[in-house]
Structures are given as C-alpha cells and as structure tokens.
Amino acid sequence: MDTEFKPLDDYGVIGNDERVALVGADGSIDWLCFPHLEDSSVFAAILDTEKGGRFAVEPQAEYDSSQAYVDRTNVLETTVETESGTATMTDLMPVRMADEPYPHERFQHAVYRKLEGASGSVSFDVCFEPRFDYARAETSLEIETGEEGDDEGKIVASGDGERLHLHHHGDLEFELESDDDGPRATGTVTLEEGDTCWLSVQHDHSVRLSPEECETVLEGTVDYWREWLDECEASAGSLFEFDEAYTDALIRSALVLKLLIHEETGSICAAPTTSIPEVVGEDLNWDYRYNWIRDAKFSIQALYNVGQEREARQYFEWFRNIGHTEPEEIQPLYGLHGETDIGEETLDHLSGYRDSEPVRIGNAAATQEQHDIYGTIVQGVYETVRYENGLTDEDWDSICALANRVCEIWDEPDAGIWEFRDDHRHYVHSKLLCWVALDRGIQLATDYDYEGPLERWEREREAIREDILEHGYDEDLESFVQHYDTDDALDATVLLIPIYDFLPADDHRVQGTIDTVLEEMTTDDGLVFRFVDSEARPDEPTAFGLCSFWLVDALVLSGRVDEAEEIFTNVLEYATPLGLLSEMIDPDTGELLGNFPQAFSHIGLLNSALYLASANEEVGDLPPEELGEGDGANAPLFRRHGSE
C-alpha cells in the first residue's frame, strides 16, 4: 500500500446527512469520523500515513485510476486500469431507508463499497486498519467467518468503547497482522469480468445484507440524491442552466453543501476535516468541523439560491435560536449540536498532513471577541423573515439586544474575521458589520412596525459610518484598508462594502478599492489573497477561495460584468477533477490547501453564479420578489438597499 501523502485533488468525498469520508483515487479511505463528522476519527491516514489508519482497496499491479461521481449524486466511482483488466469501485454512505432490510436506526453510520470487474482480471489488496479516537485508543481486531460454503465474513474492530464491523462477500479471506502502530486485517480478491464483491463498514451496529440487498442500498442512495437535486432545480429556476459551462460546478457545489449540513440540527460545518494546513510545513492548521456565525448571511443566501429551502429554514432556525441568547454570551462558532464548550488540544502523536504540525482538534476561536457576529445575525434575520412567518416578538427582542450591544462595543478593538489570536485592532470589517446590525435593525423596525431606541441606533449608525470613512479609508491608496492606523494593510473583506450597501457600487471609493484589490491582492487568474502588508500576520503565499468570489460579486454590482465572468471562469479551473474546492489555493502551483472541501468556497461559487445570472438577465423564472426591492434584475437574491 502507498504510504505517501496524496494531494487534495486526489480525493473525492462521499457522505450522508451527518457524516463525510475522503476517498483517495488509490481506493483508500483516509479520513472518516463516526458517528458524526465532528466526532473522533476511525481512519485518519490523511493526517499520518503510518499511524492514522485507513480502509484501502488497491490493485496489486501497476494501474491508472480515475474518479467520477455517479451522475447527479454523491456516490463516487473509482475506475482502475491494469495491463490485465479494468475494474470499478463504487463508494457510498447510505441514506435513510424505512423499508426492510434497513430497520436499524444507525443504518447511516456506514460505508458501502462495491468492487466490480469490467474486463479481464484485476486482483486487489484490501487493508482494513481502523484506529479509534484519532489513533489514541488501543485497537483490537477479530475475524468471524461464515458457515462452511457461505461467502460471508465479518471482522470486528474494538477500541475506546466503539466497534466497527466489516462485512464482506465474495472470494475474500482476511488475515491479521500487527506492528507497533497496531493491528490490521489484510486480504486479496481477484475479479473477473462481471464479478462483484461487496464490503461494508458499520459503526456500532451490525446488519448483514446480502449482495442483492446491497444493490438495493446503492440504487436507493442514487435515487435519493437525484430526487433531492431535482427538487432544488425545480425551486431554483434557471440558475443551474444560465450557462452550460457552469452547470456541473453549480450542481457539485450544491451537493457538497448538502453533505456539510447537519441533518439533526441544520447547522453547517465549515469543512469536514481538521488541520489540513494553510501552508505546508507551517503551524496554521485548524479544526473546521464547526459552524461559524459569520457564515450565516452567505450560507442562507446560497441555500435559497440553489433551492435548498428546507435546509435554509432549518439553518435559519438554528442561528435564530443562538440570536435569542444574551448577546455577550454569543460565540463566533459553535459545535454542530450547539455545543459552546469548545476547547482546543493538539495531537502530538500524529505527524500532520505532509508533516505539518500540530494536528489540532477543537478551536480556541470560540472564545474570541469578534464584533462582526452581531451584524451577521441581524442580517441573516433581515434577509430571511419575509420568506418565513415574518418577524416574531422574540426575534425583535433579540434584534434590540444585539443592536444595543453593538452600540456599546463597536468602538472597541476585536480579533477580526480572520481570527488573529494575538492582535486585536480596529478592523474595518468588524466596524462594517456593526453598522449593518444597526442599519438592518432600523429597517426591520420600519418594515414590521416595531418600537425600539431608534434614535440611539441612528445616532450610533452614523457615528460608525463617519468613523469608517475617516479612519478606514486611505486617500493616498484610494482604497479602504484592513484596520485603522495603517498606511499599507489591505484586506479582501473591503469588497463587502458594496455588497452590504454601506456605499453604492459606483461610489469612487468603492471603485478605487476594487481597483486596488485587483492590483495589489489579485493574481492574473483572479485568485485573491485575504490580506497583504498586514501588521497582524505576515503575508500568506496562498489565496483564499471565497475572496475571489467576493471580488466577482463586487464587480458585478459595479457593472463590470465581463471582468467578473473572466475571474469566475478562471477560479473554477482550480477545482479538482471532481469539482471540489478547498479553503486555499497556491497560485504558483495550483495546489489546493486548507481544510477540504470548504463550505465557504462552494457557498461563494453558488452566490456569485446568481450575481452573474442576474446581470445577464438569465433568471427570468425566479419570482420577482426574489430579485430584491429597488434593484431590478441585476440584484442577487436577498440583496437590499441600506442607508446612503
């Protein structure tokens, strides 16, 4: 088995509503956590090829491989070609099925793998090497064979109070072996044309299915994803069709976003992985398996844009409930079940992806002061309530509490959107979102005839506005900057100024800012860095995927549609062959870095597509009220005018 680290674009992802696995083009599952994606790993070879554990199925002979999704699904096919033949491996995580033989409530806590000979003969090596609790727990393996003449068998792995059951069919026998890193079960199977072999890994349950029943699971899972996507397309109108060149990217992004939505709570994780480095060999390695409040506005917009209305409503309820808590208790991020006690620790026994230490679990940013979260919540409510049941009294009480909180703290420094851990400053983006909280609060009071301390809010809103314009804009640079008291620091978040309607897109300060970002922060292909010349942290050699889509949106609002479309098209070229995007992109090599796949990148892609579609007047079958009030056909979904 290959023990080298793979590039991220060698991975596909599979999953269901609360679990995600990364599957390499070599047939190895290198990342999987059970029972949910935020729980501890059972396979973590992506973080340590020796100790992490994997479930690998790889041809014995030299081979070429390619991956593709079964059309319009999250079911992954890996095709391998050797000199002696061709075979296909189909990987899936099953969806809920109420009918027999799938009665077990934990039926989704599983991976199913189908090996099928397509031509000639292909022999596979199989390695089942679970490592519980991020490879911290001792693992034991036991082989259970079927009755004589029966082609069924099972391996039971135990550790840290958990169990994995590997069921298999076909001419496949396993042996146990062990070394200092723990035990593993290995076996071989040879497939001739037309032969099949099923394997399934089940967490904390054991349901033995026949090959015929496994086929039913596969067919049902394929049908589920296609029916779900059909519903999205019916709701989203012509968004998926406005340009055939973008259709595949939009469909894949919608399917990825669905994988990252926690079915039980509606929360959305930023990514299903931890500690994939922003820069190889450095220590900027974070756990992204949490829901960030700052993502709310863009997430809701994307969910509605692609027709995920049920998911949008559920997500809105999730962060709406958070907004009902005391403002000073609101955190920048939460666990996917709403957990607030999120510590951070390092796993020093793991080498890290490509030896980038440390490996972290948990995220200490949960305790940071980030003032943008208040505006994000108010904006999310502002954009959503008219599509639901309007603004409730409880909502209004929360809006009042959040706006009053902003009045008290907006002129204090904070950690900023990029979570600078040791450098609190007056970040322009934080001030902008404080302005948004008050501006949208005032508008909600007007729209829904609620009473509140509007005079105070209007006074503080104007004070924030004047403060940003005086201290956050540099006349010499002709651009907004990252934070106050700087002559050089630039930040991609300034692109949000027209998106949040702080200034109209045709304002000379907005246009100067966009031009400065293009000149100083953007590669020829349209990749945008998060910040440059910042006193808070050294410049990064990698670009941040979402920032390129913010640039697209700002250009569209400016009427610079050709530039926007060129950048959008160029950025899509950096996606993996399967259409997946990570957090960061190395502009010199095109290599994807950071946690993968990244919800923010795919959310940005979906939202930018609607900006472009509306600019090209290709959203004619969307309801008129969904195109924004007063902005005409060039406005994206949910966009509103604020104060000028």
Which tokens in the block code for residue 151?
């082609």
Q: How far is CA 127 from CA 178, 188, 327, in A?
A: 12, 9, 50
Q: Is residue 575 part of a domain?
A: yes
- Domain count along the chain: 2
pLDDT at 622: 38
| pTM score | 0.94
Distance of CA 437 to the CA centre of its chain: 25
5 vs 403: CA distance, rounded Å: 48
Q: Say if residue 185 is in the same domain as residue 246.
A: no
Residue in 384, 448, 434 with CA at minimum distance from that of residue 404? 434
Residue in 332, 291, 331, 348 with CA at minimum distance from that of residue 314? 291
| All residues at 6 or more sequence positions from 314 whose CB lies less than 8 Å from its CB, including other chains | 261, 265, 266
Q: Is residue 218 part of a domain?
A: no
Q: Is residue 220 part of a domain?
A: no
Residue in 333, 253, 272, 242 with CA at minimum distance from that of residue 39? 272
Residue in 342, 347, 363, 369 with CA at minimum distance from that of residue 288? 363
495 vs 511: CA distance, rounded Å: 10
628 vs 634: CA distance, rounded Å: 9
Cβ atoms of 424 and 369 within 8 Å: the answer is: yes
Q: How far is CA 426 from CA 90, 370, 467, 497, in A?
A: 51, 11, 11, 16
pLDDT at 281: 93
Maximum CA pair distance of the chain? 83
203 vs 457: CA distance, rounded Å: 53
Instruction: Label the pairing between strands 19-24 and 182-192.
Output: unpaired
Bridge partners (DSSP) listed for residue 16: 19
Cβ atoms of 443 and 382 within 8 Å: the answer is: yes
Q: Say if residue 483 is in the same domain as residue 567.
A: yes
Q: Say if residue 181 is in the same domain as residue 313.
A: no
227 vs 167: CA distance, rounded Å: 29
Q: What is the CATH classification number for the domain harbouring 40?
A: 2.70.98.40
pLDDT block averages, 10 residues each, the chain of length 644 = 84 94 98 96 98 98 97 98 98 79 77 97 98 97 68 86 93 91 95 96 92 94 95 81 89 96 92 97 95 88 87 88 93 95 96 97 96 95 77 94 98 95 93 98 95 97 98 97 95 98 98 98 98 93 97 97 97 98 97 97 95 74 36 36 32
Q: Say if residue 152 is in the same domain as residue 253.
A: no
Q: How far is CA 283 from CA 21, 279, 351, in A?
A: 24, 8, 12
Q: Say if residue 35 is in the same domain as residue 181.
A: yes
What's the sign of the alpha-carbon dihedral 635, 238, 16, 45? negative
Q: Say if residue 47 is in the same domain as residue 93.
A: yes
DSSP SS3 for 503: coil
pLDDT at 394: 93
Q: Is residue 229 part of a domain?
A: no
Q: Is residue 1 part of a domain?
A: no
Q: Is residue 122 part of a domain?
A: yes
Cβ atoms of 638 and 628 within 8 Å: the answer is: yes
To which H or E segment does residue 552 belong?
A: helix 545-557
Q: Say if residue 474 is in the same domain as residue 620.
A: yes
Q: Say if residue 128 is in the same domain as residue 250.
A: no
Q: How many other C-beta atoms lie within 10 A of the C-beta of residue 636? A: 25
Q: Say if residue 408 is in the same domain as residue 319.
A: yes
Q: Say if residue 404 is in the same domain as residue 486.
A: yes
Containing structural domain, residue 323: 234-634
Cβ atoms of 644 and 503 within 8 Å: the answer is: yes
541 vs 547: CA distance, rounded Å: 14
Q: Say if residue 191 is in the same domain as residue 325.
A: no
Q: Is residue 217 part of a domain?
A: no
Q: Say if residue 145 is in the same domain as residue 267.
A: no
Whether omega for the bond prior to residue 59 falls within 30 degrees of 0, making it cis, is: no
| All residues at 6 or more sequence positions from 321 whose CB lies less than 8 Å from its CB, including other chains | 338
334 vs 328: CA distance, rounded Å: 15
Residue in 374, 345, 348, 525 with CA at minimum distance from that of residue 438? 374
pLDDT at 146: 57
Q: What is the CATH classification number for the domain harbouring 465?
A: 1.50.10.10
Which tokens in the block code for residue 449?
């005839």
Tally of CA atoms within 13 A in the half-sphere of 507 that contains its CB? 19
444 vs 278: CA distance, rounded Å: 39
Q: Is residue 211 part of a domain?
A: no
Q: How many other C-beta atoms lie within 10 A of the C-beta of residue 220? A: 16
483 vs 426: CA distance, rounded Å: 5
Tally of CA atoms within 13 A in the half-sphere of 419 that contains its CB? 17
